[in-house]
Every structure is written in structure tokens, then in C-alpha cells.
Structure 1
Amino acid sequence: MKDTYIYHKTALQLLKYIIEIWEAKSEKEKSNELPIVIPLVIYHGQKDWNIGLSLGEIIQGYEGLTPNIQRLVPNFEYLLYDLSKYKDEDIKGEAQLQIILTTLRDIFTKDSIDLFTTINRAVKYLRELEDHQTGIRYVETLLRYIFSAGRNLT
């Protein structure tokens, strides 16, 4: 099984993504205004998420700064959705989204038999899609992901 880990500089990585979005948007539209970007992390690792949810928490000495100085230092919080905390009935949305989220949740946390139950449920829902070509592509993508990320499945 592949080892999963929590990246302790997630907030910094998100800041890079936000800047890339802003640069692409301003270059494409030649605009001086930037869109609102709400950073979101969907986590599906084996371990509990054990790092802070803001950029300020990884900036050395940030907490010790006075509020007047803190307001001059970039900081933001991000949303965290730890999929391991959600039951099937808690995961809402279109069938494709439910399949993706439950597969991500189960890939590292379930044994092979439980994972096969998740896969079978996903395939059942995908077969019910009106556009069968889209369903086939989803199944192919799902299986590629499972075999690359999952436990030594055959």
C-alpha cells in the first residue's frame, strides 16, 4: 500500500494556487479586479489531520506579533473536509460526486472486501447514467485511481 502523509505546508501550497488563479484571471481578462477564491482541502488520508488551518500557523513568530503587525502579514484560513469523518448518508450531491467522495474516503480506510463494496456501488450508479459513454469513462477513471492508490488489489 502506498504511504499517505499530511503536508505540513498545505496553507503555503494553497497560497501558491490562489496566486496562480489570480494571475491567470487577470492576464486572461486584463482586469484589475481579482476573483474571490475560497481555499478548500478535501482530505482522505489514513491519519487524522493534525495541522493548523491557517497560513499564520506556519509563519514563524506570527502568534507573538501584535494585532497591528499581524494585519500586515498575509494570513488566511482554509476549509478542510476530512472525508473519513463522513458516513455514506452524509455525502450529498449528484451520483458522480457521491461516488468520487466515497471512493476517496474508502481507498485507504477500508479493507479489500469493504472497498469492493464501494466499487460495486459506484459501478451500479454509473451504469444508471443516461450517457453510457460518460459512465464508461467514469468507471475507467475510477478503476485506474483505485489500482494506483489502493492496497495491492488485483
Structure 2
Amino acid sequence: MNLYRRNKLSGYLPIIIPVIIYHGVSEWTFSREFEDYFEIPHESFRVFIPKFRHLLHDITHMADEAFKTSILMEIFHLLFKYIHFPELDIKLQEIFDLLEQLPDEDKRKEYLFNILKYVLASGPLSRARVTQLTRRFPGGEDMVGVAAQEMLKDLEQTRRPYWEGVGELKATQDTLVDLATELYGPLPGILQVKIKSIQSIENLRALNRKIIRTESLNEFTELVDRAAEN
């Protein structure tokens, strides 16, 4: 690989091929053009947006035969494709059949545990049904209980604080935009973008306090510029 880079790349960057692996219920309807995911405040910004397409693997609508290249590939294809559908009951049994073919017992247990966490968190099957299907593995029933406890612990420790933080940040940004609009009328689009780019709640709260002492939109814009840089 190093020899290839020396002889072929000649100082150029290697090609990066972006891939989206999608397994939602409905078909993927979004653009495959990267630039379409940006909200451009002015056409002058368009030259700074990279232009490339991403490859799409819409697993839900791909044939199962396309993934029969290895045991692991087939396992995770079946899992992702049917996770939202009632057919998961049958497919989970097929997944377990494949899992039993893995020669490494430690890896088999590791994959089983992660599969159980994912199925319990996102699948349509009840815990009782998952437990029933998992009894074929030694200690499978206990593993379901441990997976369920760990899943709930993860949700408690990470998901709630994250979304609470996101909600508080957005509310503080919206409050600042509303207050500035009341004082100076509709804000320029680029100014709203700068306010939305500020990720520090403390800086946003400081701006909410300082805005009432500003005498012009230009003065407020300067405060926003400084806050956005920090």
C-alpha cells in the first residue's frame, strides 16, 4: 500500500467513496447529491460545498441472495432488513442458525449479545418471544436479561441527557433570534445561520443579556461574530 501511494498517488489525496447503508421501513427518497444537504444562505457560498454523490445500499429493498457472501454478512443483512417487520420472528431463527456455524465461541457469544440488544431495542418481538428463541444457546435466557438491563442503562445514561441538551440549545438559539427580530426586524439569513452555529448555551445566554444594551443591528452582529468564534 505504501509503495502504491508513492508510485501512483504522487502527492494527491486518495479517493473516498461515501456509502449510505439504509434499512428504514419506506424507500430512500432523499437526494444522493451531497450538496443538496446544505441550506445555502446565499449563492456565493455554493462554491465552497463539495460536489459528489454517495452510493446507496437500501437493504430493505435488496434481495437476500445478494448478501450470501459470508456468514456475518448474511447475519447482519437479515437483521437490518427485517428489524422493523413481523417476519423478524422467522428471520431471527435463521440468524441463530447462521450464528451457530461460527467456529469461534467467544465471537459467537459477542455477536449474540449485540444482536439481542438491537432486537430488544428496535424489533417488534416481545422480550418473552426473544427469550424463547434464544434458549437454544447455553445461557441464552440469562443473556437476554443482561442485554435488556444494559440497553435500559445505556438509554438512561446517554439518550435522555443528549436530547435534553439538544432541546435546551435549540430553545436558547430560537429565543435569541426572536428577541433580535423584535428589536431590529427580520434578521438576515446569514446572521440566523451564525446564531444557529453557536453551540455554547452559556454564550447564547450572554448574548440574550447583552442584546438589550445594543443600539444597532451592526453592533449585535459583531457580538454574534465574536461568540461564534469561541
Q: TM-score range by the shorter chain?
A: 0.5 to 0.7
Paired with 1:73 and 1:136, the residues of 2 have a C-alpha distance of 44
When structure 1 is superposed on structure 2, of 85-94 and 43-52 the one drifting more is 85-94
Q: Tell me what 1:90 maps to.
A: 66
Percent identity between matched residues is 25
1:101 matches 2:101: no
Deviations 1:10-43 (A, max 9, x none): xxxxxxxxxxxxxxxxxxxxxx754322110110
Paired with 1:60 and 1:131, the residues of 2 have a C-alpha distance of 48
Q: How many residues align?
A: 114
Larger radius of gyration between Structure 1 and Structure 2: 2
- The amino acid across from 1:104 in the alignment is F
Alignment partner of 1:119 out of 74, 82, 92 = 92
- The amino acid across from 2:62 in the alignment is Y
Give structure 1 regions of 4+ aligned residues with deviation exceeding 3 angstroms: 32-35, 58-61, 70-73
When structure 1 is superposed on structure 2, of 85-94 and 122-131 the one drifting more is 85-94
Deviations 1:59-82 (A, max 9, x none): 457xxx8xxxx7764211000100
Paired with 2:49 and 2:114, the residues of 1 have a C-alpha distance of 41
SS in 1 for 2:16: coil
- The structure where helix makes up a greater share of residues is 2
1:48 matches 2:21: no
Q: Compute the TM-score of the two structures, normalised by the length of structure 1.
A: 0.64
Deviations 1:68-124 (A, max 9, x none): xx776421100010011112222232101111011101001x21xx21211111111
Paired with 1:115 and 1:79, the residues of 2 have a C-alpha distance of 26
Structure 2 unaligned segments of length 5 or more: list them.
Answer: 1-10, 128-230
Paired with 1:35 and 1:141, the residues of 2 have a C-alpha distance of 33
Q: How far apart are 1:142 and its partner, in Å?
A: 0.7
SS in 1 for 2:21: strand
RMSD: 2.4
Paired with 1:83 and 1:117, the residues of 2 have a C-alpha distance of 18
Q: Which structure would you say has the larger RCO, counting Cα contacts within 8 Å and 6 or more residues apart?
A: 1
Q: How far apart are 1:132 and its partner, in Å?
A: 1.4
Q: Tell me what 2:107 maps to.
A: 134
- The amino acid across from 1:132 in the alignment is E
- The amino acid across from 1:151 in the alignment is P
- Within-5 A mapping of 1:53-72: 53-59=32-38
Structure 1 unaligned segments of length 5 or more: list them.
Answer: 1-31
**CA spacing shift, 1:137–1:60, aligned 2, 3 Å:** closer
Paired with 1:60 and 1:128, the residues of 2 have a C-alpha distance of 49
Paired with 1:107 and 1:73, the residues of 2 have a C-alpha distance of 35
Q: Compute the TM-score of the two structures, normalised by the length of structure 2.
A: 0.44
Q: How far apart are 1:143 and its partner, in Å?
A: 1.0
